[in-house]
């Protein structure tokens, strides 16, 4: 599955647009990681605990989006984008979305 953030793929021709695809996950923070991240925030530096949580969430959302596209018969997704929203205190949604397409070589 080819994923791109652009509306087209170099050296490929979109022969059919199949529609919107999406994948999401909702994650809650972990109290232990919050304490460590809070201490790190005092002294500065990257909050590795949150970086790791976000990376895992992003991969899960992408995997779910790809599953959605495969069900439609797509072999690529164009205009891929991400969005987040707060669901409740300590929990957030990460969504990946794009347009499922069928492509072939030029």
For 68-95, write each residue's pLDDT tens digit: 999 999 999 999 999 999 887 778 899 9
d(CA 96, CA 23): 5
For 50-59, write each residue's pLDDT tens digit: 788 889 999 9
Q: Is the overall model pTM greater than 0.75, yes or no?
A: yes
Q: Which domains does the chain have, with CATH numbers?
A: 2-105 (3.30.110.70)
User: What DSSP state is assigned to residue 33?
Assistant: H
Lay out the sheet containing 91-105: strands in order across.
Answer: 2-3, 76-88, 91-105, 12-28
């Amino acid at each position: 599955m080819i994923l791109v953030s652009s509306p087209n793929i170099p050296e490929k021709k979109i022969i059919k647009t199949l529609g919107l695809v999406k994948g999401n996950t909702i994650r809650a923070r972990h109290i232990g990681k919050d304490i460590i991240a809070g201490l790190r925030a005092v002294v500065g530096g990257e909050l590795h605990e949150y970086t790791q949580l976000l990376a895992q969430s992003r991969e899960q959302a992408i995997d779910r989006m790809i599953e959605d596209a495969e069900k439609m018969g797509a072999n690529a997704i164009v205009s891929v984008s991400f969005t987040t929203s707060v669901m409740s205190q300590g929990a957030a949604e990460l969504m990946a979305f794009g347009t499922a397409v069928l492509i072939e070589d030029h």
